[in-house]
Every structure is written in structure tokens, then in C-alpha cells.
């Protein structure tokens, strides 16, 4: 009888060790897979489309002047006859309402484009003002639809291209095709993004933005209150980004 109990206990212990071994292997496999996926997210965020002829080249807000410079290059290469700029500067509008001139981001981008030889008649600032990428793409897609166009080239940073594609397909795809194009001299480190502070920030920002987009945009950024106007001797205003 004791011998039978001993054999049963040994069998139970063996099965328990086997179960724990399998469980440990599965946990290790899941952890390794998750780590590989997470480390590879930097490359995954870069989702660029082949360039084609388009109705316009749209410059997303942020990263002055590199996006505008790339748009000018594409314009001179003949990809489109118009360049569209969005209008993200809510503070500038509020200041303008009380008679204070404050250059907007589209003002600076316009100056960059003109300096690069883009004629004024080819530059169009789209209304209404925007505060985030989803609103920005909505304004661009509405302009594309109103123009009767089929596609638009959207110039942004490489890490931002995946989110642009996801948001466009989910919310704007019925209005036409978007070609997501990242600036070629982007310093984004896709392979080892966790070693570069700027790339780490971009990856975190983009992943959260994509999750928000997949979830139906439950989190919407709202404009910050207009700051109190203080007379200062400065000609270098700050610029926000709509990313």
C-alpha cells in the first residue's frame, strides 16, 4: 500500500514538473515574441507608398522647414501642381483677433516654399484650423474631394507614415487615395529606436496615437488656453505641432 502511494506521488510530482516546464517555456516564448515585436515596432511605423502623380502635395504640420522643403522638391519633380498647407496655429488666430500679428506655421512654410521657387499661385492654405493629425487629414481629404482629385501626397516624418495611413484608411479613404511620404533626411533611427531619445519619443507618441485611432479616437487633444499677452522683445515665436 505504501509502495503504491509512493509511486502515485512520484507520478504526480513528475506531471507537475512537466506542466511547470511547459508553462515556463510558453511564458518564455511569449515574452521573447513580445520583445521581438516591440523592438521591431520602429521599422513597422515606417509605411511609405510609391510616389505617383497626384492632385496636390500636402505638408503636415510640424518639423519646420524640412517637410516644406521636401514638398518643394516633389513639386519641382512634377508630382503635383499644387502644395497644400494646413493651419494649426490657434494661438495666432486668438492674437490676431485682438490686433496682434503673430506668424503662423503656414506663414513660415509658405515662406520656405517661396524661397525654394514654388510660385504663390501653387500654394494653398486649407481651412479650418486643426489641432491634431486626424483633423488635419480630414481637412486634406475634404479638399481632395472638393477638387475632384483622386490622390494626394502627404509629406511627414517617416515614423508618422504608418499612423497617417491607418487614420486615412479608417476615416478618409472614401474621399480618395493618400500617398504617405516620409522626408528622406529624417534622423529617425528605426532599427535601434530605443537607443535614441528622439526616436524613442517618436515611437511612444506614434504607438499611442495608433491605438487611439484604432479605438475610434476616444482621446482628442484640445487647444491649450491662449496665454496672457506680455510685451517682450522677441521675434522668435514658438510653434506647436499637430502631430
Closest to 188 (Cα-Cα) out of 44, 4, 22, 73:
44
Separation between Cα atoms, residue 110 and residue 126, nearest integer Å: 12
> Which residue in this structure is represented by grid cell 528622439?
198
Count CA within 13 A, CB hemisphere, residue 18: 6
pLDDT at 38: 61
pLDDT single digits (tens) 198-243: 999 999 999 999 999 989 988 775 544 433 333 333 333 334 445 7
Sorted by where each begins, the domain ranges of the chain are 45-214
pLDDT single digits (tens) 36-50: 456 789 999 999 999
* Residue of 23 and 118 predicted with greater confidence: 118
Picking from 42-46, 59-63, 92-96, 224-228, which range would have the lowest pLDDT averaged per residue?
Answer: 224-228
Separation between Cα atoms, residue 109 and residue 241, nearest integer Å: 13
Query: Does the global pTM surpass 0.75?
Result: yes
Contact residues for 153 (Cβ-Cβ < 8 A; gap 6+): 51, 52, 54, 56, 57, 58, 74, 79, 80, 179, 181
Confidence at 102, pLDDT banded by 50, 70, 90: confident
* Residue of 102 and 232 predicted with greater confidence: 102
pLDDT single digits (tens) 129-185: 898 999 999 999 999 999 999 999 999 999 999 999 999 999 999 999 999 999 998
CATH class of the domain whose range is 45-214: alpha beta
CA distances from residue 162 to 21, 27, 154 in whole angstroms, order as listed = 39, 30, 12
Closest to 162 (Cα-Cα) out of 209, 194, 219:
209
Q: Provide, rounded to the nearest whole percent, the portion of the chain with pLDDT above 70.
A: 73
The answer, yes or no, to whether residue 114 has pLDDT greater than 80, is yes
The answer, yes or no, to whether residue 188 has pLDDT greater than 60, is yes
Separation between Cα atoms, residue 212 and residue 85, nearest integer Å: 25
The answer, yes or no, to whether residue 57 has pLDDT greater than 50, is yes
> Do residues 52 and 77 make contact, with C-beta atoms less than 8 angstroms apart?
no
pLDDT at 104: 87
Counting every residue written for the chain, the total comes to 243
Helix segments in 77-170, DSSP class H: 90-97, 105-115, 133-147, 161-167
Q: Compute φ and ψ for 8, nearest 5 degrees.
A: -65, -40
Q: Across the strands, what pairs with 59?
A: 85, 155
Amino acid at each position: 500500500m505504501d509502495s503504491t502511494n509512493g509511486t502515485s506521488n512520484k507520478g504526480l510530482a513528475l506531471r507537475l514538473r512537466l506542466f511547470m516546464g511547459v508553462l515556463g517555456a510558453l511564458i518564455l516564448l511569449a515574452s521573447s515574441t513580445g520583445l521581438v515585436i516591440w523592438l521591431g515596432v520602429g521599422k513597422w511605423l515606417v509605411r511609405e507608398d510609391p510616389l505617383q502623380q497626384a492632385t496636390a502635395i500636402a505638408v503636415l504640420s510640424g518639423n519646420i522647414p524640412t517637410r516644406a522643403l521636401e514638398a518643394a522638391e516633389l513639386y519641382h519633380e512634377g508630382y503635383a501642381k499644387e502644395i497644400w498647407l494646413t493651419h494649426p496655429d490657434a494661438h495666432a488666430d486668438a492674437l490676431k483677433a485682438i490686433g496682434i500679428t503673430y506668424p503662423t506655421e503656414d506663414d513660415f512654410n509658405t515662406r520656405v516654399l517661396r524661397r525654394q521657387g514654388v510660385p504663390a499661385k501653387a500654394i494653398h492654405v486649407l481651412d479650418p484650423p486643426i489641432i491634431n493629425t486626424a483633423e488635419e487629414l480630414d481637412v486634406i481629404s475634404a479638399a481632395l474631394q472638393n477638387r475632384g482629385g483622386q490622390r494626394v501626397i502627404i509629406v511627414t516624418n517617416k515614423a508618422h507614415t504608418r499612423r497617417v495611413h491607418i487614420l486615412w484608411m479608417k476615416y478618409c479613404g472614401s474621399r480618395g487615395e493618400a500617398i504617405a511620404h516620409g522626408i528622406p533626411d529624417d534622423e529617425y533611427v528605426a532599427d535601434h529606436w530605443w537607443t535614441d531619445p528622439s526616436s524613442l519619443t517618436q515611437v511612444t507618441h506614434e504607438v499611442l496615437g495608433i491605438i487611439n485611432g484604432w479605438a475610434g479616437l476616444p482621446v482628442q487633444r484640445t487647444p491649450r488656453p491662449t496665454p496672457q499677452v506680455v510685451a517682450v522683445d522677441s521675434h522668435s515665436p514658438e510653434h506647436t505641432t499637430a502631430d
